Chains A and B, each alone.
Chain A
Amino acid sequence: MLSRTADHLYWMARYIERAENMGRVLEVTYSMSLVPNAAESEAALWLPALEISGNVDEYEAEYGDVKATNVIHYLAMDPNNPSSIYSALRNARENARAVRVAMTSETWENINALWIEFDQFNGQDLAKNGLREFCDWVKARSHLFRGVCFGTMLRDDAFSFVRLGTFIERADNTARLLDVKYHLLLPEQEEVGGAVDYYEWSAVLRSVSAFQAYQKIFSDTIVPWRVAELLVLRRDMPRSLHACLDEISPILEQLSGSRHTECRRLSGELHSRLRYGKMQDIFQQGLHEFLSDFIDSNNILGAEIQRAFLSINPS
């Protein structure tokens, strides 16, 4: 298939996934704000949401102090924030529009309908009213997107690039979420797992739809290292890093065919780390170090995929 087409499909899927994850972060932060004394201040509660998206400086330049109303607007609706849900969905739709031929008409119509529906939230003050519904809608739309791809697309390269986009983006988001939360909850002098804030951690779990899974697997109180294990090493947990690499690696094997691509090697290496790694060793190395390293490697993997398949000028 055309490299440009593959590029658009890949980014379409990444942006949809990005919107979903942003929706999850907003939702979970919002529910935390309803728990009494969940954080010292409004700023302490909402800052992590900004950190996950990696745009704290840009936010402060535009809005100043960290306030719930502003953060919600910035992350959900601000067209000037390239990571806002608005921007992500718009980009997803623009990418889809550029290659509508390469997908099934159902897939295209689904994304186009998403963009038309988005209008109902435009101009709405979500901080006051309707944030929950909005986040639910974003998630549901993302589920629908994956479903329509899975249910209607031919299992060819186009499908592979859509899947690739979804899981590269998801791995990045899960790693960031875990990193930000873990970092904040564990002051340096405190021992791992020393202070467990049940609400914080259950919120993290819920944000990746893992609360029930946790209960089912561990049937125990929620402790940070098990949350980390669930989101890093458990391959049966669909938003974990391991599960993402389980999807990415075989796709790159198949797309590379007989070619020796750096992205294939890198994904194999990352995959092995998650497949054969032990939580104990990861904690010894430091979870934060492990996660930052993972985020970097995942970024490089993205760049290598770009170089091998998507660039306009493969040299």
Chain B
Amino acid sequence: MQKSLQSFFDEMQLDKTAPDENRVRHIYAAYQDWLKDIPHHQLESKRQEAELLFRRVGITFNVYGEEDGAERLIPFDVIPRLISAAEWSKLSAGAIQRVRALNMFLHDIYHDQEIIKAGIVPTSILANSQYRPEMFGVDVPNQIYAHIAGIDLVRTSESQFYVLEDNLRTPSGVSYMLEDRKMMMRLFPELFRRYHIAPVDHYPQVLLKNLRAVAQTGVHDPVVVLLSPGAYNSAYFEHAFIAQQMGIELVEGQDLFVRNNAVYMRTTQGPQRVDVIYRRIDDDYIDPLVFNPDSMLGVPGLLSVYRNGGVTLANAVGTGVADDKATYIYVPEMIKFYLGEEPLLENVPTYQLSKEDELQYTLEHLHELVVKEVQGSGGYGMLVGPAATKNEIEEFRLRILSKPSNYIAQPTLALSTCPTLVEAGIAPRHVDLRPFVLSGKTVTLVPGALCRVALKEGSLVVNSSQGGGTKDTWVLESDLFEPKELMAKNAKKVAAETVENNKAESVC
């Protein structure tokens, strides 16, 4: 049986047994104060307004395997997730540290392979299907491979965050970070007066600056384009949105061609040279001459130009070897090896089913573990033990046994919950957090993230393809904010709470 939702860490409520006025976490106090006067039907009508607006703007995604032309909205929750300035500074430092190490790892694995020589990562990594021998010895500008990285974080207690996975190929979802914020500002302007919320809308500008910075040396005014699989891709809205925000061309494979060690796009005025390609197409589809020959999405000859330094790809080809679930377990060691630092963010304990004893343990504990395909993504091909039926578990057992090295297992984490508007009212639902780390001349991230929420009661799967929704994430600029209206009402109470929370903060 599943644990009751009451037993999970809740982002808003610290102590669920305390009387109402004392149990709200400090940063949520002003929000709670506002929320208690808002009747359910009013929140519900705001939610409907948001849905209407999203549909009108066309913020939709396509679900694979559904009837063609089916465009769906990702459900949007009107209750935000709040992150304190102190939490954010810890998370962002940890995410930056991780991405720096991962970029160094990628450079190393495609050059001298020191980390293998040092015995930290096994040689078997070179046999991983995500390792691209084509990239060996290729130098990329600034030695950056993962220009855009989405780091998935989950929380299990006040002070405990885990990195669930790194997304270094073509991470998506940033458009929701930006659009959810716009929506919240439109629906609840009054809340933005109560809180000092760090702005996120400069993300496209930071990204563009970074992309321009990784053009090949000697290119004066680089032409940057976004390469999309096209309007039928599930993330097409995001591709269009980001390209528009950056003011760059949104191209498809058929718009580009290769000539004389350079990439050109076909324009109404003839061919135009392209210097940097922000590609949202997987490695396998990017060049039919080298990878999947059936791909209609890519550009024949692109990889050869890329290897010769005629064009920059972001992210680089071959990053998949670093965000593979089998590599994930080595990231804390990579941080120590390359940076000489202690990891600021922890990994989830992970069993590698390629190892006999860990396989044995996993098979005996399937009902309490989460088992994932090593190369799976989007919440497909995974088993959530506590939520699975006996049949599902047995079926999955056979799949594991047929190729154990294809899977890893992790304990079922007690993902934190956040109050969410559902039909019956406001109820806790599990959430995760994906900040986007940008690497160019420097490694940065804008203070915000995609917050995904599993809308089904008790569900731990937050992926949009599996019925997850999104929330706006508010990173507070300062934790020393003054919720003025609240203070005016009850100055004493706030003072007492602040003391309480300072105690709580000192624990982490």
Residues of A within 8 A of B (CB): 1-6, 94, 97-102, 105, 108-109, 112-113, 116, 157, 161, 255, 257, 309-310, 312-314
Contacts and interface: CB of A to CB of B under 8 A. Distances in A.
A1 B58 contact: no
A278 B269 CA distance: 37
A4 B57 contact: no
Contacts of B266: 2-4, 312-314
B230 A1 contact: no
Contacts of A2: 249, 251, 255, 265-268
Nearest to A4: B255
Given A1-B268, A3-B268, A98 B230 contact: yes
B55 interface: yes
User: Which 3 pairs between the two chains have the least Cβ-Cβ distance?
Assistant: A101-B244, A98-B231, A309-B268
Given A2-B268, A3-B268, A97-B58, 17 more contacts: A1-B268, A1-B269, A2-B265, A3-B255, A4-B251, A97-B231, A99-B250, A100-B240, A100-B244, A105-B244, A109-B57, A112-B56, A113-B56, A116-B55, A309-B268, A312-B255, A314-B270
B240 A101 contact: yes
Interface string B54-73: 01111000000000000000
A112 B56 CA distance: 6
Nearest to A308: B268
A3 B57 CA distance: 25
Contacts, number: 62
Contacts of A100: 58, 240, 244
Contacts of A314: 266, 270
B331 to A, nearest CB: 36
Nearest to B257: A313
A306 to B, nearest CB: 12
Interface string B223-263: 00000001100001000100110000111101100000000
Contacts of A310: 268
Contacts of A257: 269
Nearest to A3: B266
Contact of B58 (A3, A108, A161, A312): A108
A207 B439 CA distance: 59
Contacts of A97: 58, 231, 236
Contacts of B231: 94, 97-98
A157 to B, nearest CB: 6
A164 B64 CA distance: 36
Contacts of B56: 109, 112-113, 116
A254 B231 CA distance: 30
A164 B266 CA distance: 20
Interface of B: 55-58, 230-231, 236, 240, 243-244, 249-252, 254-255, 265-270
Nearest to A8: B231
A1 B267 contact: yes
Given A97-B231, A109-B57, A255 B243 contact: no
A118 to B, nearest CB: 13
* B interface SS class: mixed
B57 A157 contact: no
Nearest to B250: A101
Contacts of B230: 98
Nearest to B242: A101
Nearest to B256: A2
A4 to B, nearest CB: 5
A94 B243 CA distance: 18
B244 A3 contact: no
Contacts of A157: 268
B227 to A, nearest CB: 12
Contacts of B249: 1-2, 5, 101
Q: Which of A4, A105, A157, A314 gathers the greatest number of chain B CB atoms within 10 Å?
A: A4
Contacts of A102: 250
Contacts of A3: 255, 266-268
10 contacts: A1-B267, A4-B266, A97-B58, A101-B244, A102-B250, A108-B58, A109-B58, A113-B56, A312-B254, A312-B266
Given A97-B231, A112-B57, A255 B240 contact: no
Contacts of B265: 2
Contacts of A105: 57, 244
A112 B240 CA distance: 15
A4 B252 contact: yes
A134 to B, nearest CB: 21
A112 B58 contact: yes
A3 B267 CA distance: 5
Q: Which of A101, A113, A310 gathers the greatest number of chain B CB atoms within 10 Å?
A: A101
Contacts of B255: 2-4, 312
A255 to B, nearest CB: 7
A113 B54 CA distance: 11
Contacts of A4: 251-252, 254-255, 266
B263 to A, nearest CB: 14
Contacts of A109: 56-58
Nearest to B239: A101
Contacts of B58: 97, 100, 108-109, 112
Contacts of A108: 58
B352 to A, nearest CB: 43
B52 to A, nearest CB: 9
Nearest to A257: B269
Nearest to B254: A312
Contacts of B252: 4
A98 B255 CA distance: 13
Nearest to A111: B58
Contact of A6 (B55, B240, B251, B268): B268
Contacts of A5: 249
A116 B71 CA distance: 12
Nearest to A98: B231
B137 to A, nearest CB: 34
Nearest to B265: A2
Contacts of B270: 314
B395 to A, nearest CB: 39
Contacts of B57: 105, 109, 112
Contacts of A98: 230-231
A5 B55 CA distance: 23
A157 B272 CA distance: 16
B235 to A, nearest CB: 14
Contact of A255 (B236, B250, B254, B268): B268
Contacts of A6: 268
Q: Which of A3, A99, A309 gathers the greatest number of chain B CB atoms within 10 Å?
A: A3
Nearest to A158: B268
A144 B250 CA distance: 26
Contacts of B236: 97
